[in-house]
Amino acid sequence: MGDFTIVDREVLEVIRERYADLFPAEKKTADFVLQNPPAAVTMNVAELAKASGVSDATIVRLCHHLGYSGYYQFRIALSREIGKEQSRESRVLTSNDAISSMFEEFNTSVTMVGRDLDIETLRGCVSLLKNAKFVHLIAMGNTTTLTRYMGFRLERLGIRSTYTDLPEYFMNHINLAEDGDIVLAITKSGSSRAVLDAMRLAREKKLPAILITAFEDSEAASLADYVLNSRGTNKSRDYYKGYSYLNEFILVETLLGFVVNEELIIQKNADLPELILAENKEKRGRHWNDTPC
């Protein structure tokens, strides 16, 4: 297992230093990383393995051989190294041009997500959601914010959902699922262990599965009936921009936009909670307006 001190060293230097001790298959990946560090840092395990012509297990063994605890730590360290160059080139908020540049970057990435959407895949996803008895929304970590948002919105559209950040809970929900239920999973990396376990269980239960991910070649993608690609431009060398879920959010909004069914909303009286809460919201609003500043 690696330690935290190694992440302070330059990855490319570590690779060169220990290159002679690597196994032939590991050297193939090491060569790829040395020649293409900006590309390597944007890849998950499966993509790096495919790009360098080795197995996923070889990638993990290479990371351990170099002294890292795993691929995640290796990738963070590599990103920090590459990010030094980007930090020198980073935009400074000194004019409206910087704002325009930022929004243009957002627009380009989101536009590419829309351009890459396959209409038949999208139609299949919308049909599953509209006809679902229950939608089991699955995610882990900070991605669960998206499933909570989507679950709330689906229920306001009259579509029952389950959404939780506890794997014990969503595994129970899937295990007790019935015909007509579906699973919608969000994992940007496509390798979240708890999400993979849930998708495997969903497959055993023969539940249709939709996946939103930035990695179409991931293991999670192989377990889904429909895959929505959220990668966008993915040109950034900054690993920490990987914490942005703008593209995944756009795909959630796209699905919700096509799922709206006014007849179902009226039939299930889905707006009733909002009507009940409206009076309390109005009271709170009056209270705040009457409170002296």
Are residues 254 and 197 part of one domain?
yes
Q: Rounded to an integer, what distance in angstroms lies between the CA atom of residue 114 and that of residue 93?
A: 29
Q: Which residue has the higher pLDDT, 76 or 133?
A: 133
In a domain, 292, yes or no: no
Q: Give 248's pLDDT tier (boundaries 50, 70, 90).
A: very high
Are residues 123 and 83 part of one domain?
no
Q: Rounded to an integer, what distance in angstroms lies between the CA atom of residue 144 and that of residue 245?
A: 11
Residue 268 has pLDDT above 90, yes or no: no
The enclosing domain of 55 has a CATH number of: 1.10.10.10
pLDDT at 97: 77
Q: Which domain holds residue 151?
A: 116-260
pLDDT at 82: 76
User: What are the residue ranges of helices labelled H in 36-185?
Assistant: 37-40, 45-52, 56-66, 71-89, 96-116, 119-131, 144-156, 167-175
Tokens of 62: 């290479």
Are residues 122 and 256 part of one domain?
yes
Portion of the chain with pLDDT greater than 70, in percent? 79
Residue 85 has pLDDT above 90, yes or no: no
Are residues 149 and 43 part of one domain?
no
Tally of domains within the chain: 2
Residue 16 has pLDDT above 70, yes or no: yes
Residue type, 59: I
Q: Rounded to an integer, what distance in angstroms lies between the CA atom of residue 60 and that of residue 71?
A: 6
Residue 276 has pLDDT above 70, yes or no: no
In a domain, 106, yes or no: no
